[in-house]
Amino acid sequence: MRGVSLVETEHLTKRYGSSVTALDDLTVTIEPGVIGLLGSNGAGKSTLIRILLGLLEPTSGRALVMDLDAATQGSEIRARVGYLPEHDCLPPDVSATDFVTHMGRMSGLPAGAARERAAEVLRHVGLFEERYRSIGGYSTGMKQRVKLAQALVHDPRLLLLDEPTNGLDPAGRDDMLDLVRRTGTEFGIAVIVSSHLLGEIERVCDGIVAVEGGRLLRADTLSSFTGRTRVLVVEVEEGHAALAEELGRRGLRVGLEARLVLVDAPDGAPHDVIRDAVVDLDLALVRLEQRRGTLEDLFRPTRPEAAGAV
């Protein structure tokens, strides 16, 4: 027995004009939780989210959000959903407090309640004294937090986050992902978060919906997706070819990609071996890290072989 699904789409298709197909016969059922919507740029992620909000009309097919029809019950869906768009959407000459309060009122909160909620959600997203300053002076990270705050101010049942880490530096990314994770797990708000980075989705989501070219590639729980990106990236200033050769000699499966040495590390991390090889060859190590999974890794089934070929 299952309850009401979060999102159900049936043969959802969206064409712009006659040539561009953004969504192509997409049928998927998404259960509540923190769900990652994974796809490269132009895969149809934003289009799907905007159809779910009732902002775009599908060319054909049907979408249900919390059992409400996106085509006919858009306003009821939007009342229960918080949306963080991919693009900038904040006025520069207003303070975060005033702006989030206003957006709370636009969601039907009474004036006093909107002010309280704004203060609460801004604190939740980590904006403190700076929330009284004009948004125009904010960093990208702070703006993303304001965008998340306005999506949360009316306490939605579902958050639709379109590339919330866009334009953030690594620390900002981590903060934002933590925030998404906490909001989704601790407070029982369902989250659909889109990204083109598998690594991000891996960190915060319970399930993944992967789309490419407007089609569904795969919808599954996270565990079935993991374990595929155990690739270490080694970058040295010079002599990457020599390093690859040396690592191969020491028993590692190694590949070259441009000036990077890729090391397949399926069981444990051979960091020591790599370090020793670098020292022995007297090379300057620039970076040694776990490869951040991308769509490429996920959808190229030959990844381990590619990494293993010397």
| Sign for the pseudo-dihedral over CA of 264, 292, 160, 110 | positive
Tell the smallest beta-carbon distance from residue 49 to another protein (Å): 10
Taking CB under 8 A as the criterion, the residue among 71, 79, 219, 233 binding another protein is 79
CB 196 within 8 A of CB 294: yes
Taking CB under 8 A as the criterion, the residue among 11, 92, 224, 226 binding another protein is 92
Q: Which amino acid is at 131?
A: R
Q: Does 25 bind another protein (CB under 8 A)?
A: no
- Tell me whether residue 155 or residue 206 sits nearer to another protein (CB atom): 155
| Sign for the pseudo-dihedral over CA of 63, 65, 68, 70 | negative
The interface region with another protein, picked from 22-30, 80-88, 249-257, 283-291 by CB under 8 A, is: 80-88
Tell the smallest beta-carbon distance from residue 241 to another protein (Å): 48
CB 13 within 8 A of CB 24: yes
Q: Does 190 bind another protein (CB under 8 A)?
A: no
Quickly list H helices, 195-270.
Answer: 198-204, 240-249
Q: Does 103 bind another protein (CB under 8 A)?
A: yes
How many other CB atoms are there within 10 angstroms of residue 141's CB atom?
Answer: 17
The interface region with another protein, picked from 106-114, 197-205, 274-282, 290-298 by CB under 8 A, is: 106-114
Q: Does 223 bind another protein (CB under 8 A)?
A: no
The residues, ordered by sequence, that sit 6+ positions from 298 with a Cβ below 8 Å of its Cβ are: 38, 198, 210, 225, 228, 229
Q: Which amino acid is at 113?
A: A
Q: Does 93 bind another protein (CB under 8 A)?
A: yes
Rounded distance between C-alpha atoms, residue 99 and residue 86, angstroms: 18
**Which chain residues interact with another protein by CB under 8 A?**
50, 53, 55, 75-76, 78-79, 81, 83, 85, 87-94, 98, 102-103, 105-111, 113, 117, 120-121, 124, 134, 150, 152, 154-155, 182-183, 186-187
